[in-house]
Structure 1
Amino acid sequence: MIKQALLGEFLYESENTRKILKAIPDSALDWKPSEKNWSTAQLASHIAEVYNWYESTFDREVFDMGTYQYDKGDISKAKNIVSKFEENVLKAQKVLENSDESRYFDMWKMEINGNILFPPTQRIQVIRGFLYNHLYHHRGELVVYLRSTGNKVPGLYGPTADDKK
């Protein structure tokens, strides 16, 4: 039953992620609000990458960022970031569909070369916080990036100021 709820949210929200990634024009990819922030391309690529973390979160007890490898591909074109998202979201959906609910309350942690980055926590909390909410946070940032570069923002939870009334 928990899996069905997670899957329903996943499917709905992955469509919202798709909408916002597809709204990014190539002309906005290099923009960043300050020197401390990622560029639009880096932020969008990170959003696509979060879907690559599902296997390490659902199927392992420890996610070791010290051994984690990810090829983000060419992020100089928005269509490439969308393609990477599509690849990752399909894999993530399969991991979620095949997940074992009996393991949702097992402990999980993230480390890098033996140093704990994310302390032992029940997997279900990590799924909601680290995978889902983390992604929504970055999508919110991306909305601000789009607005700041004069681009339209798609409606994710209803119409936006860009939608005709």
Structure 2
Amino acid sequence: MIHNVEEFAQFLDGLRKRTMKYVKVVPNSILEWKPAEDKFSTGDILRHLASSELMFLSVFEHGKWSYPGHESSKGDNIEEIIPYMEACHTRLMDGLLTLGNDLLEKKVPTLHGHEVSSWRIMMALTEHEIHHRGQLSTYLQMNGIEPPQIFGLKIEQVER
């Protein structure tokens, strides 16, 4: 359970900084690449990560799931996508800090309409980010790009 929104926001900010290490190695040449026709492209994943932060904030602020989409109008190259991601993250962080610890007392709907404590949706937000960061890592590797090490070392470099 989360007990302090400011501490959660700091954790979430660190999580996003680690994700951005991956984003910053994405070349424009693979933004439209996807592993299959019915899957997200690399660019879709990045825009989705950004837009989803606004979706989660909508639940916290208004009790309503509203997804702003991930179409290429939100950035069709990495130079446009990164500022979109940064703007969405800033909006989420400001919103969380404005809501403060009162958010933790709030019940919010799940995507299926069941009410749960908001901290459960806050945890889902982090799980969502980590899921798509892993997906991005796989996309990079499938395109011959070595993803950054999340904590600076490869497992082979850790002492046994």
Q: 1:143 aligns with which of 134, 137, 146?
A: 137
Distance in 1 of aligned mates of 2:60 and 2:32: 33
Aligned equivalent of 2:30: 28
SS in 2 for 1:59: helix
SS in 1 for 2:105: coil
Aligned equivalent of 2:126: 132
The alpha carbon displacement at 1:159 in A equals: 2.3
SS in 2 for 1:152: coil
SS in 2 for 1:33: coil
Question: How does the TM-score come out when normalised to structure 1?
Answer: 0.81
Task: Give me the CA root mean square deviation.
Answer: 2.3
The residue correspondences of 1:13-162 to structure 2 (distance < 5 A) are 13-63=15-65, 65=66, 68-69=67-68, 73-110=73-110, 117-129=112-124, 131-160=125-154
Percent sequence identity over aligned pairs: 21
The alpha carbon displacement at 1:120 in A equals: 1.6
The alpha carbon displacement at 1:102 in A equals: 2.8
SS in 2 for 1:98: helix
Contact 2:48 / 2:70 at 8 angstroms: preserved in 1?
A: no
The alpha carbon displacement at 1:146 in A equals: 0.4
The alpha carbon displacement at 1:84 in A equals: 0.4
Distance in 2 of aligned mates of 1:138 and 1:69: 17
Contact 2:75 / 2:81 at 8 angstroms: preserved in 1?
A: yes
For residues 93-115 of structure 1, the C-alpha deviation after alignment (integer angstroms, 9 at most, x for no partner) is 1112212313313221156xxxx
Question: How does the TM-score come out when normalised to structure 2?
Answer: 0.83
* Residues 7, 43 of structure 1: alpha-carbon distance in 2 compared, 3 angstrom cutoff: same
SS in 2 for 1:121: strand
SS in 2 for 1:7: helix
Q: Which runs of 5 or more structure 1 residues have no equivalent in the other structure?
A: 112-116
Distance in 2 of aligned mates of 1:58 and 1:102: 11
The alpha carbon displacement at 1:23 in A equals: 1.3
The alpha carbon displacement at 1:25 in A equals: 0.4
For residues 29-69 of structure 1, the C-alpha deviation after alignment (integer angstroms, 9 at most, x for no partner) is 11111223111111111112122224313212232x3xx54
